[in-house]
Chain A
Amino acid sequence: MQDRYKHCYMDIEEVKQRAGPREFGPTDDMPEEYRKAATRMIQFHANSEIMGAYIERPFIRQAPSLDRKLAVSAQVQDEIGHGQLLYRAAENLGIKTREQMLDELANGEGKFLNCFHYPLDDWYELPMIMFFVDGAAMRRQATLKRTSWEPYAHAIDKICFEEGFHIKHGESILAELASGTRRDQERLQEAFDKWWPRILQFFGPTDDQSTHSDFSSAVGLKTMGNDALRTAFLNVYLPKAEKYGLEIPDTPAVTFNEDTQRYEVEEDDLDWDEFMQIARNQYPQGKGQIDKRHRTQEAVEWVRDAIENPGAGSAAAD
């Protein structure tokens, strides 16, 4: 492939001009600013896949039936696989190695989605992740099939192929609990009350508050803004919640604006201090999740060593 590196260096203006779906790949000499922005975005996505798997993993053990156990286990396996695909896509940009990104995640520098900083207490909370949060993630991912970094779009192709099952399985768990006993329904509502504000924050601050949005959109990495994504998500998932008998809490206030055809969320009703604390990886429970990842990475260090330096271990044992 090395003989294909024939493209000349592109400056940022040219990138903005050419930006379009799957426009750039490893054979293009992209400016550092683009490569850094793409790395930040894909690394965040990869980290979120891994940390999402950590949130769901305990429910392989806690699943109430064999069918659920098999399905949850398949989902966790898929998410880890998505993480690996995405680290590959990010690595291609030449800013960070895969090892560096995994180390950053383990030592608390790596950023990931707000919702995966909150460990789940019980099975009633699982559909909050598997249906609403994964549904929100899928909404965003569908728009990334048109991202300008081709290796990212290729990873997204496979992710979207698999993800339909995850969300429909999550919906099936939700439907089952929603049609259960009154106690089931109450506990489901409690889980929803707790998770609803976090879900509303999933897409991040509104566009006017978002730090990296402008550049990522200008170079085609991002194809839809935070506000439009949240509206598209609410259009489908708010009626779904109501359909399963969930009551939408009064605060944070969500209203449908007939003129703009958009849901509007009362931003002041949401806890943005907590969101920012999470964004800095300083939320106590989130730190617990990161520590868990750190311990796991350390625990299997010897496996990586054995694979990368075969024979080294036996010399030490002599």
Chain B
Amino acid sequence: MIFEVFRQEQRKDYHVHVGNVHAPDREMARMYAQVMHARRKPAHSLWVVPKEEIAEVDSDDEGVSMGGLTQKEYRWATNYNTDETFAEEIEASQREQEEAERGREEAEAND
């Protein structure tokens, strides 16, 4: 059986997918996950999930719409600059959006 592994580096972090392990049962999967994904890179917690329990939605599937295909500039804070300064929390939100946008561009460039 294949188990997908999600690793949380430190307490309070989000769990991030790091790979999978091939194991005969849940117990062994948990042990393999520790050895493979938490030994050299210390972790705070691992989620170990049977692969078939994970429902996937692929952007190439028919009828799937996950953004990025149509022009949606109107959806981003960067599109509205009516003033020079904004409340700090608004600027923080915009920085997160810009970061996500850069991430998408890099991902596309590496495709």
Residues in chain A within 8 A of chain B (CB atoms): 1, 21-23, 67, 70-71, 74, 135, 138-139, 141-142, 150, 154, 160-165, 167-169, 171-172, 174-175, 236-237, 240, 243
Question: Which among B12, B72, B74, B92 is the interface contact of A160 at CB below 8 angstroms?
Answer: B92
How far, in whole Å, are A160 and B97 apart by their CA atoms in the complex? Answer: 10
Residues in chain B within 8 A of chain A (CB atoms): 12, 14, 47, 72, 74-77, 79-83, 86-94, 96-97, 100
Task: Chain B residues near A67: list those with CB within 8 A.
Answer: 74
Question: Which among B80, B89, B92 is the interface contact of A171 at CB below 8 angstroms?
Answer: B80
Main DSSP-derived SS at the A contact region: helix
B90 contacts A164, CB within 8 Å? yes
B76 contacts A165, CB within 8 Å? yes
How far, in whole Å, are A175 and B75 apart by their CA atoms in the complex? Answer: 18
Task: Chain B residues near A171: list those with CB within 8 A.
Answer: 80, 82-83, 86
How far, in whole Å, are A74 and B76 apart by their CA atoms in the complex? Answer: 10
Task: Chain A residues near B92: list those with CB within 8 A.
Answer: 142, 160, 164
Question: Which among B74, B77, B90, B100 is the interface contact of A70 at CB below 8 angstroms?
Answer: B74
Question: Which among A74, A164, A236, A243 is the interface contact of B77 at CB below 8 angstroms?
Answer: A164
Report the nearest B residue to A166, measured CB to CB: B77
* CB-defined A-B contacts under 8 Å, sample of 28: A1-B47, A22-B12, A70-B74, A71-B74, A74-B72, A135-B87, A138-B89, A139-B87, A160-B89, A160-B92, A161-B96, A164-B89, A164-B97, A165-B79, A165-B97, A168-B77, A168-B79, A168-B80, A168-B82, A168-B94, A169-B74, A169-B79, A171-B80, A171-B82, A172-B80, A175-B83, A236-B86, A243-B83
